[in-house]
Structure 1
Amino acid sequence: MTGFPSEASLPPGITVEVFVAAFEASPTPMVVTDPRRGDNPIVWVNGAFLALTGYSRDELYGRNCRLLQGALTDASVLQAMREALAAGRSFEGEVFNYRKDGTPFLNGMTINPVRDASGKVLFFFSAQADMTDKYRLETAMRHANDALERQVGQRTADLQSALEQKTALLHEVDHRVKNNLQVISSLMLLKARRTPAGEAREALQSMADRIGALSTAHRMLYPEGDVTCFDFKEFTADLIADLAAGLDGDRTRIETEIESLALSAAMAAPLALLIHELATNALRHAFPKARSGRIVVEAKRCEAGMRLVIEDDGVGLKAAAPNPAGFGHTLVEMVVRQLRGTLDWSDAGPGTRIAITIPLTTAAVS
């Protein structure tokens, strides 16, 4: 604005009186102050401003707008407004003012300088709005959000506590299953030692070893924080370490090349049984007559899921002694079917190679 409109600047038929009357009739509260007079007093207000504040024109004219201030008025907003007006700049802001009866209201104001042709500030014109309802709504929403966040926080804490209790219970179950399996394995070993040499003793010994493998699987699961999955690389390393504990390292060794995979905890027992059966079978039959050799266990992710390979450099399938009473081959096939995988036995030249492909769903691997 460069100044109040003159008759020449108004459209034909519109006088200054008509122009002022339009401002007077506006529903937007308006006020004009005169910075050329001491303390920048109010020199004009419209009816909407009177309705908003409850004051009369006689009570407002000649006084500074600070008469509307009170305890809730934000001093930082006032300081920013003073600095803007002192520099002749426009200002926008919200501040708590008070009506004549002492009722506070949130006043949203836009103040603009009115200049003459030379640029000198003649007046400040302010359009204002009662933002109290908006403030109350925002306050109510903020309180509602705070209450909701507290409820969500409490609910989250309750769920976390329940999850921790469930996790502790599952760990305890795994721990007890492991102990029970160890007891069963020990009883079968004791019975095997008291059974005459032959197929019965070998069968008892083999079953005790298989139960021991399941016990090992539970032992490696229950200390983990996450009861839903396990690291297959660490799991296999511990399992193989148990198998290799009694081996003569100079004659027979087991090597692993395992990719780190987070698998479903439900796969732990069948995989432990599978690896134990194939590795133990190789140790028993691939290296007869004190033959030296090695067994390699490999596992890595593939397009179909996971590819597990157990290979030895022993005498091979054809040279191995037949075992009509053997249960290992059947057990391996049963476990692979349980895992919905595929199984391939082949000569490694030398030795035997068993390749197993196991599908991994999103629930089984991460």
Structure 2
Amino acid sequence: MKIENDAHASDFPLDGNVLLGAFASSPTPMALVDARQPDQPIVWVNDAFTQQTGYGRHEVVGRNCRMLQGPDSDRAEVARIRAAIAAGQPCEVELFNYRKDGTRFWNAMTINPVRNAEGVVTHFYSAQADMTEKQRLEQAMRNANDELERLVDLRTADLSAALEQKTALLHEVDHRVKNNLQVISSLILLKARRTPEGEARDALQGIAERVGALSTAHRMLYSAGDATRFNLQDFAADLLSDLNAGLDPERTHLEGAFDPIAVSAAMAAPLALMIHELTTNALRHAFPGDRAGRVTIEARRQAEALHITIGDDGVGLGSAAPNPAGFGRSLVEMVVRQLRGAIAWHENAPGTRVEIRIPLGSED
């Protein structure tokens, strides 16, 4: 018979024996049950079914498919099969079935109702597949994943413990450094008080103040939750509070605006020293005599760089009294170079403005 390309399957009805022969020779285990008989017995199975289950055809025909169930068959899945059959609906399940010799296997079943011309369900057709190896591989994968998660959890716990120990050690180091710097500052101030007024006494007091700024930076690191980071905003707030406490509010104003910028702990001491030096120099030299004025300091993050600006409306660089013993400007420029930054000094008319740019990159 020649079948044209535009023919429909309904144009060529197949003999039932042809279909039965095709199903009988299929490598897929198949079974047909009669929905009209009591207990819906098996009425036909193919050779693949008998090979999968170990039962002969004569041993299964006339019996209900529940004969393949056993102790490990999932009761919920079995109930799902019963509900689908009662409703005349198709269903797909996977559950343990048992062969004739008692060995169990994962059976994936697709069960479909077969209806007559009037739409009445007369039979149920089941196609099956042994999924034991698939389930074994999936279980092995789950076990491997569980073991991997266990090892990751153990490694994470080890790393967390090591990090906690490192953090505690860094806190302890910063605490001891801070205490030692405070002792050094106190000793220098004590020596300054016993030194006659003049350049030597001023120099000792200046050194004590610088050591105090470093002590404040280490106190910030010690009190922070993350000992590897330094909050510039917190340091600036402490510094400005200390400096404002020693100023005459009727004559000198010190104002600051800092973004909440966290930088690496390695940058803490250089930044603290630089900011302290520029601010105290402005307060000390920009307003000689009874001159009133204002000092402002800002720190902003712009792209991948820290921008610091310190300005005053004082007498300016050119008009300030010379200080042969001073090295504040040299100290600031040295620190900026250490931080791979750039600094510019400007006459502000009136006053002075210092602009500093320090790259943050991966440090922030």
TM-score normalised over the length of structure 1: 0.93
Aligned to 1:178: 178
Letter in 2 for 1:150: R
- Please tell me the residue identity of whatever aligns with 2:148: L
Q: Is the 8 A contact 2:216 2:235 kept in 1?
A: no
Tell me which residue corresponds to 1:167: 167
Separation in 1, partners of 2:41, 2:233: 82
Instruction: Please report how far the alpha carbon of residue 230 of structure 1 lies from its aligned counterpart in structure 2 after TM superposition.
Output: 2.4
Paired residues for 1:133-282 under 5 Å? 133-282=133-282
> Residue 9 of structure 1 aligns with which residue?
13
Paired position in structure 1 for 2:3: none
Tell me the CA shift for residue 44 of structure 1. Answer: 0.5
AA at the equivalent of 2:13: S
- 1:342 corresponds to 2:342: yes
Show structure 1 runs of 5+ residues with no match.
none
Quote the offset at 1:332 in angstroms. Answer: 0.8
Q: Which digits, 9 at most, give the CA deviation of each residue in 1:79-103, with x for residues without a partner? A: 2212222222211111111112221
SS of the residue 2:223 aligns to: coil
2:363 paired residue number: 364
After TM superposition, give the deviation of residue 242 of structure 1 in Å: 2.2
What CA distance in whole angstroms lies between the structure 1 residues aligned with 2:250 and 2:221?
Answer: 31
Aligned mates of 1:157, 1:244 — CA distance in 2: 46
Query: Which amino acid letter does the alignment assign opposite residue 9 of structure 1?
Result: P
Which residues in structure 2 correspond to 1:10-89 (within 5 Å)? 10=14, 16-89=16-89
What code does the residue aligned with 2:277 have?
E
1:299 aligns to what? 299
The Cα RMSD (Å) is 1.8
Provide the secondary structure at the position in 2 that maps to 1:317. coil
CA offset at residue 35 of structure 1? 0.3
SS in 2 for 1:203: helix
Q: Deviations over 1:90-141 (max 9, x none)?
A: 1111111111222111110011112222222221111101111111111111
Taking only the aligned residue pairs, the percentage that are identical comes to: 64
What is the aligned partner in structure 2 of residue 286 from structure 1? 286
- In the TM superposition, residue 16 of structure 1 has moved relative to its aligned partner by 4.2
**1:364 is matched by which residue type in structure 2?**
E
Q: Secondary structure at the match of 2:109?
A: strand
- The whole-number CA distance in structure 2 between the counterparts of 1:171 and 1:240 is 24
Query: What secondary structure is seen at the aligned counterpart in 1 of 2:224?
Result: coil
Change (3 A) 1:91 1:304: closer
Q: Is the 8 A contact 1:116 1:122 kept in 2?
A: yes
- Please, which runs of 5 or more residues in structure 2 have no aligned partner? 1-8
CA drift of 1:304 comes to 5.9
Q: Quick one: which amino acid aligns to residue 66 of structure 1?
A: R
Counterpart CA distance in 1 for 2:145 and 2:88 is 40
* Structure-1 separation of matches of 2:245 and 2:170: 29
Alpha-carbon distance in structure 2 between the residues aligned to 1:161 and 1:50: 60
CA distances 1:303-344 after superposition (whole Å, capped 9, x unpaired)? 461210111122222221011221111101101111111111
Q: Which moved more, 1:244-253 or 1:155-164?
A: 244-253
Correspondences of 1:84-99 after superposition (within 5 Å)? 84-99=84-99
Task: Spell out, residue by residue over 1:277-297, the C-alpha distance to the aligned partner (whole angstroms, 9 max, x if none).
Answer: 011111111122132222111
* Cα distance change of structure 1 residues 24 and 304 upon mapping to structure 2, 3 Å threshold: closer
Residue of structure 1 equivalent to 2:315: 315
> Per the alignment, in what secondary structure is the counterpart of residue 290 of structure 2?
coil
Asked if the contact 1:29–1:46 (Cα under 8 Å) also holds between the matched residues in 2, the reply is yes
Aligned AA for 1:223?
A: S
Aligned residue-pair number: 355
Q: Which amino acid is the alignment partner of residue 27 of structure 2?
A: P
Is the Cα–Cα contact under 8 Å of residues 230 and 262 in structure 1 kept in the other structure?
A: yes
